Chain A
Amino acid sequence: DAGVIQSPRHEVTEMGQEVTLRCKPISGHDYLFWYRQTMMRGLELLIYFNNNVPIDDSGMPEDRFSAKMPNASFSTLKIQPSEPRDSAVYFCASSFGRGLSYGYTFGSGTRLTVV
């Protein structure tokens, strides 16, 4: 398995533009997580899905952020409109069965810069 695949690896956009981050989880994993990493706050959970259904989005900072998982092999995180304070590294992770036995597998991340 190729692991969790995220695209793009880097994204530079202007304030106010829409940004879409993409994630392909490991086949067979039934949980998908979106995390954001900043120097100040470290890694924070934004939202997670179980069997493609959003379960907890309490970490999504504001209405400008939205996430979807239309099928078991694809998820998107969208920011519209983007702001400079959204600049961070966004990680997608997946797990099987709540991650109790095998833990979580993370993608390589998308480094977002909003100018």
Chain B
Amino acid sequence: KQEVTQIPAALSVPEGENLVLNCSFTDSAIYNLQWFRQDPGKGLTSLLLIQSSQREQTSGRLNASLDKSSGRSTLYIAASQPGDSATYLCAVKVGSEKLVFGKGTKLTVNP
């Protein structure tokens, strides 16, 4: 059974800092991995999608990497801003069409 773990559960940083969020999964047989952002009381916004054959994807200040063999992904946020404060979720797509989610990392960027 695929399990996804995100560490840390919460992170607080000062504005301007570069930071890394971690995601690990137990079964490397995935199709892709997707990072989402969730604001309080809101839905999920897709940030980046990495195919299983890819190593990384970039969008603006965000960079996501994938090491399928070791079951790890990282989301790198450069020059963090208070507007980046949210919960970040990673999810892996497995063969049964399911997205298996981690519990998320709650990020607070302090001005």
Q: Which residues of A line the B interface, CB within 8 A?
A: 31, 33, 42-43, 45, 48, 50, 55-56, 91, 93, 98-109, 111
A-B contact count (CB 8 A): 54
B89 within 8 Å of A (CB atoms)? yes
| Complex Cα spacing A1 to B98, Å | 24
B residues 81-111 with Cβ under 8 Å of A?
A: 89, 91, 93, 96-99, 101-104
**Chain B, 47-84, CB within 8 A of any chain A CB:** 49, 51
For residue B1, CB closer than 8 A to chain A, the reply is no
**Quick one: which of B41, B42, B46, B101 contacts A105, CB cutoff 8 A?**
B46
Q: How far is the CA of A33 from the CA of B43 in the complex (A)?
A: 14
A43-B89 contact, Cβ under 8 Å, with A31-B97, A48-B97, A108-B42: yes
Residues of B within 8 A of A50 (CB): 97
* Dominant secondary structure at the B interface: strand
Bound Cα distance A111, B40 (Å): 12
Question: Are A99 and B93 in contact, with the CB atoms below 8 A?
Answer: yes
Known: A106-B43, A111-B41. A100 touches B93 (CB 8 A): yes
Taking a contact as CB atoms closer than 8 A, the residue among A31, A104, A109 that contacts B34 in the complex is A104
Asked if residues B44 and A103 are in contact (CB atoms below 8 Å), the reply is no
Count of B interface residues, CB-CB < 8 Å: 23
- Smallest CB gap from A42: residue in B: B103
Contacts of A103 in B (CB 8 A): 32, 34, 46, 49
16 CB contacts below 8 A, A to B, read A31-B97, A33-B99, A42-B103, A45-B99, A56-B96, A91-B43, A93-B44, A99-B32, A100-B31, A100-B51, A103-B34, A103-B49, A104-B99, A106-B43, A107-B43, A111-B41
From A45, A48, A55, A104, B46 is in contact (CB under 8 Å) with A104
